[in-house]
Amino acid sequence: MASDKAIQASAGDVVLVERQGAVLTVTMNRPKVLNVLDEALADALVAAFAPIAADATVRAVVLAGVGRSFMAGGDLSRFDADLAAAPVTAGLLIERFHALMRLIKALPQPVIAALQGPVAGGGVALALACDMVIATQGASFLSAYTKLGTNPDGGTTWTLTQLLGPRRALEFVLLNEAIDAETALRLGLVNRVVPEGELVQAAQAMAERLSQGSRGAVKAVKALVQAASEVSFDAQLDLEKQAFIGNAATPDFREGIRAFFEKRPPRF
């Protein structure tokens, strides 16, 4: 993986990349427009996330947004500029957006989304594609797609159905009623809700804690949890066995066993 300065330069001003120990923070930087997604932001996010998987020194990632909103959806001005070309514009933007979704899902490192303000449309998709979500008390969530006469993208229908079930997923998308952070917590859309002003600290603390875990174990758990919604129980048993045997051959497993019997925290 390139140096932090090289990553930030390749990502451009719309995305900031910072490294603190084993934690990498990727921050969307379009605060004047609530970090809405256009081609430039999508490309910058892909450029920032693409090298992470190969860097074993990065153990956890935080995804955040500068300003009043994590992300308020797609940049609708791109469509308004030429409505006749909307299908082409949509295809180009969604292709980039989905490339980002696939990168995040495929990462061996856990990704934590740090949310504030109104999170809408593609912002919901991006947040839910991450492995864990922390939101401020003032955060809110809105689908918004059907108000525009279209359907969600970014894997939103898949993720919402997995997290909420089909009936609640349909309700959230079709009724377009915003839900607050506490409701999102109750429904399982977010992991934790924190007071305003404590978001960065909470996300960094969680990322730091995750970064201290076994890389192989974290990678295996992330892959297994993703597979659980796609395979049978019998197939999941086989995947768990295969992953366990693989991890049992690693230095981390030997350290974990030694630490257990020596009654001390493991040093992975």
**Is a pLDDT exceeding 80 seen at residue 9?**
no
- Whether residues 132 and 252 share a domain: the answer is no
Q: What are the phi and psi torsion angles at 118 (to 5°)?
A: -75, 120
Side-by-side strand order, sheet with 111-115? 15-20, 23-28, 60-65, 111-115, 132-136, 192-194
- Whether residues 137 and 88 share a domain: the answer is yes
Q: Which of 67, 134, 141, 71 is nearest to 100 (CA)?
A: 71
**Is a pLDDT exceeding 60 seen at residue 133?**
yes
- Whether residues 206 and 100 share a domain: the answer is yes
pLDDT per residue as tens digits for the range 65-84: 999 999 999 999 999 999 99
Q: Is residue 133 part of a domain?
A: yes
Query: Residues 144-156: what's their mean pLDDT?
Result: 96
- Whether residues 158 and 244 share a domain: the answer is no
Is the full-model pTM beyond 0.75?
Answer: yes
- Whether residues 202 and 220 share a domain: the answer is no
- Whether residues 116 and 171 share a domain: the answer is yes
Confidence label for 61 from pLDDT (cuts 50, 70 and 90): very high
Helices and strands per DSSP (H, E), number in the chain: 12, 9
Domain that holds residue 206: 4-211
- Whether residues 135 and 229 share a domain: the answer is no
Question: What CATH number is attached to the domain comprising 120?
Answer: 3.90.226.10
- Whether residues 245 and 115 share a domain: the answer is no
Q: What are the phi and psi torsion angles at 229 (to 5°)?
A: -85, -5
**What's the domain count of the chain?**
2
